[in-house]
Amino acid sequence: MQIDDETLMALADGELEPDRAEAVRRAVAADPELQRRLRRFAETRRLLGGLRTGAGGEDPLAGMIRAATAAPAPAPAPQAAPKAPAANLNRRPWLALAASAALAALGLGWWEWSGRGADGLPGAELAALDELPSGEVRVLADGTEISMIASFQLAGGQLCREYETARARALRTVLACRDADGWQARFAAQAQADGADYRPASGPESIEAALAALGAGEPLTPEDEALALRALPGE
């Protein structure tokens, strides 16, 4: 009886239908070579199961989760300022990455744009927001490098995009959302590149909190993002 590796593996993993499992088991019982091949799958599973170690004590995040889930869910309020999370939740991954890349964040700040912000974002950044796919970098005329990070769709269908700009030593992270008047910045943070030490930012947390407050979901896939960008009204 010819039995391939994937079937033997499925038997070891309990993924075969009962009838099929029984037939394969009978074949294995009669064939030392099949037993040897099955053992490689059974043993690897058993050994990897040993990595499933129990937790030692309560996880540090447990308290935060209890506090968040016991409270009534906040009403969706897109324009409301996101509440600052506890200080120990302040570390953003890109700041941690910045540390390894020897960047120093000199300050993070909140900008709240209410209604339309005519003096909000530079024109070249608006153009990039309309067309630059996430993951791509564009150098603007003034030497600013703009990196599109991700796109999000809010519950109402509104498109929001996160990007970073780097010019000289100044780094900026911006979250912009598209409304009837065009792109509006909903959040911006600045950091300063520095060859020396790394200072963690204090103050309110950043884009994660802003995204959470807006009710943004997972980042759009490249395909969904391309569709959303094509659907933007032309100028």
Partner 1 sequence: MDAAFGEALIALLPNLRRFALSLSRRADLADDLVQITVERAITHAAGFDRRARLEPWLFRIMRNAWIDQTRRQRTAGTQVDIFEIPEALPVDPAPALEAHLMLQSVEVAMATLPPEQREVLHLVCVEEMSYAETAEVLSIPVGTVMSRLSRARLALAGKLGIE
Residues at the site binding partner 1, with contacts judged by CB under 8 A: 5-6, 9-10, 13, 15, 36, 39-41, 43-45, 47-55, 58-59, 61-62, 64-66, 68-73, 85, 89, 91-94, 96-97, 100-101, 134-137, 147-150, 164, 166, 208, 212, 215, 217-219
Extract the tokens encoding 225: 């993002």
Rounded least distance, CB 94 to partner 1, Å: 6
For 157, list phi and psi in degrees, rounded to 5: 95, -5
Residue type, position 148, single letter: M
Q: Say which DSSP state 88 is in.
A: G
Rounded least distance, CB 214 to partner 1, Å: 10
Cβ atoms 33, 25 nearer than 8 A: no
Catalogue the E-assigned strands of the chain. 137-139, 145-153, 159-167, 170-179, 182-192
Collapsing DSSP to helix, strand or coil, 194 comes out as coil
Order of strands across the sheet that contains 182-192:
137-139, 145-153, 159-167, 170-179, 182-192
Rounded least distance, CB 180 to partner 1, Å: 26
d(CA 226, CA 230): 6
Nearest to partner 1 of 53, 114 (CB atom): 53
Nearest to partner 1 of 102, 181 (CB atom): 102
Taking each continuous run of H as one helix and of E as one strand, the counts in the chain are: 8, 5
Rounded least distance, CB 153 to partner 1, Å: 13
Rounded least distance, CB 99 to partner 1, Å: 9
Task: Give how far Cα 35 sits from Cα of 6, 32, 126, 148, Å.
Answer: 14, 5, 64, 53
Nearest to partner 1 of 29, 137 (CB atom): 137
Rounded least distance, CB 122 to partner 1, Å: 19
Nearest to partner 1 of 88, 114 (CB atom): 88
Nearest to partner 1 of 109, 222 (CB atom): 222
Nearest to partner 1 of 69, 114 (CB atom): 69
Collapsing DSSP to helix, strand or coil, 161 comes out as strand
Rounded least distance, CB 98 to partner 1, Å: 9
Nearest to partner 1 of 44, 79 (CB atom): 44
